[in-house]
A and B are shown apart, each in its own frame.
Chain A
Amino acid sequence: MSMITTDFLSDIDNAVNNLDFYRLYKVMCRYYHIDMLALLDLNTWPDDKNINAACVAIDSSDGVPANLNVLTISEENMIFSDVKSSIIPKIWSKNETAQSFDFYEGSTDPCAVTFPIHSATSRHYVLVGLMQQSNIKKLPLAEAHYHSSLIFQKYHETVLVPSSLPTVTPRELQVLKWSAEGKTSQEIAVILSLSEHTVNSYTARVQQKLQVNNRAQMVAAAIRTGLIQ
């Protein structure tokens, strides 16, 4: 058990994309016997009833439940209302979980564990775990909270809000320059021997860093700031 922990902690620094963090959360599922872990963005809830899941990792033999990427949660939801104003991890009973997670079609009668997370930029997330009652009794809550915080910290600075990074990387600059030449993502992918997905990821990161919403604005902002001529 301790070897798995050491392994997944040492891999946090190497995580660079969504899948790497999915892998980390999945290892965390296996280590703590959690059926499902979901990292949810609570910033606009309950004004907006839809909560976006940044990452959902499932380690269950029940198969793949559909559509957990966006959850529609009413403002009366007991667990989410509590988490919204809380900073401490908490374990929830079967009954409380059943009332608040009626959308989950996975293992029967799970209990929930919640880890509220506040980012350095005052964004509010929660890591929700669903697990069997027999396993939740053995869960070392403080240790699991610490591990979830370590993963989140890296996830936040690497993927969720990369604009907190100070500079544009050489690869991002290449994508920026070719975008300014009017090339499409597919054309840039061929030129740089990358996938279209990677090119789109670089484009999205640059747009976040320059705080713009589309390619035209990105190119204009890059020229204004002297990134490209």
Chain B
Amino acid sequence: MNTQATKIKLLFVDDDPTEFDIMKRLCRDMDHQKIDLVCRHSVEEACEVLGEQDIDMILLDNQLMMDDDFRSSTPKLRAQHYTGPIGIVSSNVRTDYFQDIEEYGADFRIGKDELDRQTIFYIINEFAPKNVV
């Protein structure tokens, strides 16, 4: 792990505003890690962000209102030529189709109840580029 403070821009896509509040709480005041959090409600809005900003990592809710699941939503994000990591957040990550996650362009799965500061820190270290502040 890096002991120096690093900063990343994280795009969080979820159709439930409550999840935004939870994520904001998790991401603030983290030692060693500054997170610039961008929240959007849909894949379409997320695609717009990808055209406007440099995003280091995306956390994507598995079942958004307008999309079936990550198998349809992740390719839309990849179609924007985004090559950073995409993590799928779900209340149930044990469904069999998650084994094919890489085939659809996603990098990892994580349960909503598994997300805490230590896990977010681990995920950033494992998947996202490290930009020392």
In the complex, per-residue mask of A15-28: 1 if CB is within 8 Å of any chain B CB, else 0: 01111101100100
Question: Which residue of chain B lies nearest to A70 when distances are taken between CB atoms in the complex?
Answer: B1
Distance between Cα atoms of A69 and B94 in the complex (Å): 28
Residues in A whose Cβ lies below 8 Å from that of B107? 17, 195, 197-198
- Asked if A64 and B121 sit within 8 Å, CB to CB, the answer is yes
- Asked if A197 and B123 sit within 8 Å, CB to CB, the answer is no
- Asked if A195 and B123 sit within 8 Å, CB to CB, the answer is no
Which of B10-18, B64-72, B98-106 is near enough to bind chain A?
B98-106
**Closest Cβ–Cβ distance, residue A60 to chain B (whole Å):** 8
Partner of B1, one of A57, A66, A190: A66
Distance between Cα atoms of A16 and B101 in the complex (Å): 9
Residues in B whose Cβ lies below 8 Å from that of A26? 114, 119
**In the assembled complex, B32 has its CB within 8 A of some CB on chain A:** yes
**Closest Cβ–Cβ distance, residue B99 to chain A (whole Å):** 5
Distance between Cα atoms of A189 and B78 in the complex (Å): 9
Tell me how many residues of B have a C-beta within 8 Å of chain A: 36
Residues in A whose Cβ lies below 8 Å from that of B36? none
Tell me how many residues of A have a C-beta within 8 Å of chain B: 33
In the complex, per-residue mask of B90-116: 1 if CB is within 8 Å of any chain A CB, else 0: 000010101101110101111100100
Partner of B31, one of A11, A63, A171, A198: A63
**In the assembled complex, A85 has its CB within 8 A of some CB on chain B:** no
**In the assembled complex, A59 has its CB within 8 A of some CB on chain B:** yes
**In the assembled complex, A122 has its CB within 8 A of some CB on chain B:** no
With A7-B94, A63-B117, A195-B86 as contacts: A19 and B123 at CB distance below 8 Å: yes
Apart from A20-B109, A194-B102, list 14 A-B contacts with CB within 8 A: A7-B94, A11-B94, A14-B99, A19-B110, A22-B122, A26-B119, A60-B118, A64-B121, A66-B1, A66-B31, A171-B103, A194-B105, A195-B107, A196-B83
Q: Which residues of A contact B (CB under 8 A)?
A: 7, 10-11, 14, 16-20, 22-23, 26, 56-60, 63-64, 66-69, 171, 186, 189-190, 193-198
